[in-house]
Amino acid sequence: METSLQQQNIQITPVAEEIPFYLPVGNECTLFETAYRRQLPLLLKGPTGCGKTRFVAHMAARLGRPLFTVSCHDDLTAADLTGRYLLKGGETVWVDGPLTRAMREGGICYLDEIVEARKDVTVVLHPLTDDRRILPLERTGETLRAPDEFMLVISYNPGYQNILKSLKPSTRQRFVSLSFDFPPGEVEVEIVANESGLARERCIPLINLATRLRTLKGIDLEEVVSTRLLVYCAILMEEGLDPLQAAQITLVEPLCDETDVKEGLLELIRATYG
């Protein structure tokens, strides 16, 4: 079973003893708690690496619920979420998927980048996202009713949407939705300093650099520097790596392959740390 879960990019986190660090930028924590209390499904929208997954982990721990995280991909099917019959010890037994387990255990099921999954996945979610809050399991003949503690959260990056990969309006309108973006500068400084251990004063020029790099989105870059990449850069700097080299391997190479674009980015970095 463990191998199967790893292959499907599924992470099951029991009730956390410590609450993962998350620095709010608005009233998103209150809104999440309200949605949880009133049994409303939640959709998170925002760019890659802006803190959506950490936010969900933070809230699950804060609410004292186990978290079932699924990183959606092209091969993810409804059966991967609900469960399937597997051969164990010479007999066929039913094994719950993460969505079914979250319902049975009263946990939070988080489907990250839902638009990457196959279409049959969203169909399975529909009866869970209205007043019925049920999950029919055709193969076992069961119809599970979600306990009060169960919550469904999905996310996607609107920047990756296109005509082939989008969330249908009929699905979107089943969720309350929160929009995420990269944190304001002063908040991002605190996040990067906390996550990396790099001194706050050394994080400030790094965040200023990120602000300049982000203006290039849609001009030279399809995607921009995420908070996650800034943390990686700060970790390397804290380990003693030269800031120019740390920035090159975390803020330039992951974002583009074109030589002239990379050179332009390096010029901005040299202007900050040269």
Are 195 and 234 spatial neighbours (Cβ–Cβ below 8 Å)? yes
Question: Residue 8 has what pLDDT?
Answer: 56
As a whole number of angstroms, the distance between CA 113 and CA 100 comes to: 19
Q: Which helix (H) or strand (E) holds 23?
A: none
- Residues with Cβ within 8 Å of 234's Cβ and at least 6 positions away in sequence, in order, are 192, 193, 195, 196, 197, 198, 202, 203, 206
Question: Residue 163 has what pLDDT?
Answer: 46
pLDDT digit string (tens) for 94-117? 999 999 999 999 999 999 999 999
Query: Can you list the residues of the chain whose pLDDT is less than 50?
Result: 1-7, 163
Question: Residue 164 has what pLDDT?
Answer: 52
- Residues with Cβ within 8 Å of 155's Cβ and at least 6 positions away in sequence, in order, are 43, 44, 45, 46, 52, 53, 56, 110, 111, 112, 113, 114
Report the residue count for the chain.
274
Q: 127: exposed, middle or buried (C-beta count within 10 Å: 0-12, 13-18, 19+)?
A: middle
Geometric angle at alpha carbon 213, from 208 and 217, rounded to 5°: 140
As a whole number of angstroms, the distance between CA 190 and CA 193 comes to: 5
Question: Residue 161 has what pLDDT?
Answer: 54
Question: Residue 131 has what pLDDT?
Answer: 93
As a whole number of angstroms, the distance between CA 213 and CA 207 comes to: 10
Question: Residue 82 has what pLDDT?
Answer: 96
Answer yes or no: pTM beyond 0.85. yes
Question: Residue 224 has what pLDDT?
Answer: 86
Dihedral sign from CA coordinates of 168, 170, 171, 174 = positive
pLDDT digit string (tens) for 213-243? 998 876 777 788 999 999 999 999 999 999 9
How far does CA 158 lie from the centroid of its chain?
Answer: 13
As a whole number of angstroms, the distance between CA 263 and CA 27 comes to: 40
